[in-house]
Amino acid sequence: MRIRFPLIATTSLLLLAGGMWTGETPALAAGGDLDPSFGVGGLATINTEFVEGHGSASRIAFQADGKIVVAGYLWSDPETEFAVARFDVDGSLDPTFAGDGTASTIFRTGDACYEQARAVLVQSDGKIVAVGVSSCKRPGPDMGGDALFALARYNVDGTPDGTFGDDGTVMTSFGDPADCSAQAEAAALQPDGKIVVAGEASCTQAGIDDRFAIARYDTDGALDPSFSDDGMVMTNFTRQRDKLTDVEVQPDGKIVAGGTAAYWMVETDVLESRAALARYNPDGTLDSTFGGDGKVTTSFHSRRCPGSNESYDLEIQPDGKIVQGGNAACAASAGDPPHPRWALSRYRPNGTLDRTFGRNGRVVTIFSDTTWGDGMGGGIAIQANGKIVAAGSTARHASRFMLVRYRTDGRLDPRFGDDGRVQTVFGTGPGCASGGWGGLAIQADRKIVATGGGGCFRSFVMARFLAS
């Protein structure tokens, strides 16, 4: 195990070009406009000088002073590393964090190791927790890997926090590492400072049995024995391909986890998947007041949506309703071939679909200019007025950074961008339009921050938008 600083040899803000869905800039500021006080024209990136390196940012967290913390990965052959960057409120890298605004952590070394931060949290004391996966190939012909939950905690100045785990790092397996594989996708903080980390785990070599996996840690990085006796819990929906992608803690301490439940339909040899939610009591047991047994699955099947769907993110509204975002395989019209479309579903606190939202609790957005795949991979965020912002990509042949805002009833918000949609371009050269948002969050002043990767740049990209 080793920790290396800095992650990025040279950092700078580059001159970028951004545009709305129509490519026009309105004279007066409006919802969805890029914030001119951020970066260069609302856009920022970290430039790397690794010849063959690239990276991407995922989740975002805000400090109490408004600074923005972003987590993701950076790849420079042969290593893929945890990457964390901190930005000042104006979009410039914060040099008080690890000397140049960036930090990296390597949990294990080796040409066959892959490590990536997929979530980030800021504690009340200002310390930063990055969560993700450390995976190294096992020796032998089966090509298997011993993927582990990986956590790193940094002091306010970006140095490793020696009071957390093993010199600032923690790795967790959900069984014998020789047989089990696990990767963390999301994290949440409890009011008492305990850290809830969620993802997927599989502990079988005969077939596939991916499960929802949640671990809870005490403030020193040790597993919390008051959570499911050993600090860990796994939940099956289908006994095949269940994938957890986000987690939230309710005000009453209950834990809501969301993702996808998938299984092979033997009769048609097709992978069938549904949006999935599970709610746990504070002790790690499933909450029977939610869906009857603590679990809920939702299908988007219709004549226009004949295929499967996946979910990537969830948010809990102040009224306790749960919003889940992802994709559904839908067609532009009945009879056309299905392609991934943006999909939202909203649930009442007891797990039933909220029929005041969209059509019977579900919304599907089809972008009329494309028949290719769209993806809500950047997640969702809920504004103070209840409107829902979603981030991801859309394109026919290449991904495009896309932001969409919905009204509280699920309709597109015409006061945001062009009929509810905003497209952003980083740079002006060939290939600059490609890329997608990987994370989304809303500041205390209501401004919207999105981060991801792609375009002309091989590293973190970020933009800030006006809410109205």
DSSP labels, 287-298:
-TTSTTTSEEEE
Q: pLDDT at position 431, please?
A: 63
Residue 439 CA to residue 377 CA, distance in Å, equals 8
Residue 159 CA to residue 161 CA, distance in Å, equals 6
Strand-pair category, 181-189 with 79-87: unpaired
Residue with tokens 């923005």: 68
The CATH number linked to 23 is: 2.130.10.10
| Residues facing 450 on adjacent strands | 440, 463
Q: pLDDT at position 141, please?
A: 47
Q: Does residue 225 have a cis peptide bond before it, meaning omega lies within 30 degrees of 0? A: no
Backbone angles phi, psi at 301, to 5 degrees: -60, 135
Return the closest-CA partner of residue 32 out of 451, 413, 441: 413
Residue at 97: amino acid letter: F
Residue 157 CA to residue 141 CA, distance in Å, equals 44
Q: pLDDT at position 2, please?
A: 38
Residue 120 CA to residue 68 CA, distance in Å, equals 11
Long-range (24+ apart) CB contacts under 8 A made by 354-358 are: 354/321, 356/409, 357/408, 357/409, 357/410, 358/409, 358/410
The pTM of the full predicted model, rounded to 2 decimals, is 0.89
* Full pLDDT tens readout for the chain, 468 residues: 433 333 332 233 333 333 333 344 444 678 999 999 999 999 988 754 322 445 567 889 999 999 999 998 877 666 678 889 999 999 999 999 999 998 989 898 776 788 899 999 999 999 999 999 998 876 554 545 689 999 999 999 999 999 999 999 999 999 887 788 899 999 999 999 999 999 999 887 555 688 999 999 999 999 999 999 999 999 999 877 899 999 999 999 999 999 999 865 544 455 678 999 999 999 999 999 999 999 999 988 777 777 678 888 999 999 999 999 999 887 767 777 777 889 999 999 999 999 999 999 999 987 755 556 678 888 999 999 999 999 988 765 456 788 999 999 999 999 999 999 998 887 776 666 677 788 999 999 999 999 987 666 667 889 999 998
DSSP labels, 289-327:
TSTTTSEEEE---SSS--S-EEEEEEEE-TTS-EEEEEE
Q: Which helix (DSSP H) or strand (DSSP E) does residue 167 occupy? A: none
Number of domains in the chain: 1
Residue 163 CA to residue 397 CA, distance in Å, equals 48
Q: Which domain holds residue 147?
A: 2-465
